[in-house]
Amino acid sequence: MKILVIDDEPKAAEYVRQGLSESGYVVEVAHSGTDGLHVAVTGDHDLVILDVMLPGIDGFAVLSALRTSRQVPVLMLSARGETDDKVRGFDLGTDDYLVKPFQFPELLARVRALLKRGQPVAAESVLRAADLEVDPVRHRATRAGQRIDLSAKEFALLTLLVQKAGEVLSRTQISSLVWDIHFDSDTNVVEVAIRRLRAKIDDPFDEKLIHTVRGVGYVLERRPAS
């Protein structure tokens, strides 16, 4: 999932960006109200984390303008914990309000709650490919009934591959969807991640599901035994 962080404090923004990235989210950062509003309106983010005190236009103005065009979930951050500010934020349409300073686990819990709240209730949320099952809601993966322990990034990568089963994904597509959007394509992080995922998903089993398409990328699909 993609999250937009609008915060003019570089250290604070980086703290949130790094923590969310390590938790498996794709994070974009804007450092002013004007830039943040433009990115929020034109982007396809699943959640906006919005600081109140911003240069250009403040967070309340950003929220008010954003609500005229999109209903993306918004979590407001502020060093001001006055009741009037919180009431104003909720009146303008924020979904949650967190006072600085905060502990990252609390922020992460609120992010997960907002994202889960925004998901449509589906009759079947488990993704399947052959004997592989991925449950994004419970953050659980199994193959042939065996539980597979994955890191946040490995789980995000596997979820993407299963969602796009049968579709060849390039390294650029994978890096932009699983890692930061400014990911350096010259590194081999995708190959390393695929190799680690194969060690858990494919190596213990006879049938291999993750395949390399030379010169293009990777695909997860069931293939006839050669």
Rounded to two decimals, the pTM is 0.57
For residues 19 and 98, membership in a common domain is answered with yes
For residues 104 and 132, membership in a common domain is answered with no
Which tokens belong to 56?
A: 């250009």
* Per-residue pLDDT at 226: 60
- For the beta carbon of residue 20, count every other beta carbon within 10 angstroms: 21
7 lies in which domain range?
Answer: 2-118
Pairwise CA distance, residues 190 & 15, whole Å = 24
114 contacts: CB under 8 Å, gap ≥ 6: 47, 73, 75, 95, 96
CATH number at residue 9: 3.40.50.2300
Look at residue 36 and tell me if it is in a domain.
Answer: yes
* Per-residue pLDDT at 47: 94
* Per-residue pLDDT at 177: 77
pLDDT digits (tens), the chain, 226 positions: 899 999 999 999 999 999 999 888 999 999 999 999 999 999 889 999 999 999 889 999 999 999 888 888 999 998 876 778 888 888 888 999 998 888 888 999 999 888 887 554 444 578 899 999 998 877 889 999 999 998 888 898 999 999 888 899 888 888 877 875 445 555 688 888 999 999 999 999 999 999 999 888 999 998 876 6
Question: Locate tokens 């079947």: which residue?
Answer: 124
Asked if 181 contacts 174 with a C-beta cutoff of 8 angstroms, the reply is no
Look at residue 79 and tell me if it is in a domain.
Answer: yes
Last residue of a domain, one of 101, 118, 135: 118
Look at residue 225 and tell me if it is in a domain.
Answer: no
Pairwise CA distance, residues 135 & 52, whole Å = 35
Phi and psi angles of residue 199, each rounded to the nearest 5 degrees, phi first: -60, -30
* Per-residue pLDDT at 88: 86
For residues 131 and 216, membership in a common domain is answered with yes
For residues 111 and 161, membership in a common domain is answered with no
Last residue of a domain, one of 118, 143, 158: 118
Look at residue 50 and tell me if it is in a domain.
Answer: yes
* Per-residue pLDDT at 85: 83
